[in-house]
Amino acid sequence: MRHVERMPNERVAKRIKMETIRNKTERKAKIRWEDNVRNDLRKVRVKNWKQRAQETKQWNEIIEQAKFHKEL
């Protein structure tokens, strides 16, 4: 996630990140991949994730915290 956030907007991975995907449980609902990431980060109470993704040490701590979160 961190490396994709730092990419130029023209890169394929960055464009895919912003694309919408269909939620398999609800045909009408469209949710972006980034929205799923935000929801997960909200569960582990992370704010300003884009800014924190720029800091390797902070981001690695967030990932470690998320690995052991029961709701993820």
pLDDT at site 20: 53
Please give the residue range of the domain that contains residue 42. Answer: 2-67
Instruction: Please give the backbone phi and psi of residue 10, each rounded to the nearest 5 degrees, phi first.
Output: -80, -20
pLDDT at site 22: 47
pLDDT of residue 1 exceeding 70, the answer is no
Give how many domains the chain has, as a whole number. 1
What is d(CA 19, CA 35) in angstroms, rounded to the nearest whole number?
10
Instruction: Please give the backbone phi and psi of residue 32, each rounded to the nearest 5 degrees, phi first.
Output: -80, 155
Residue 33 lies in a domain: yes
Helix (H) or strand (E) holding 22: strand 20-22
pLDDT, tens only, 12-63: 877 777 665 444 555 556 778 888 888 888 898 888 888 888 888 988 988 8
What is d(CA 34, CA 30) in angstroms, rounded to the nearest whole number?
12
pLDDT at site 31: 77
Residue 72 lies in a domain: no
Give the pTM. 0.50
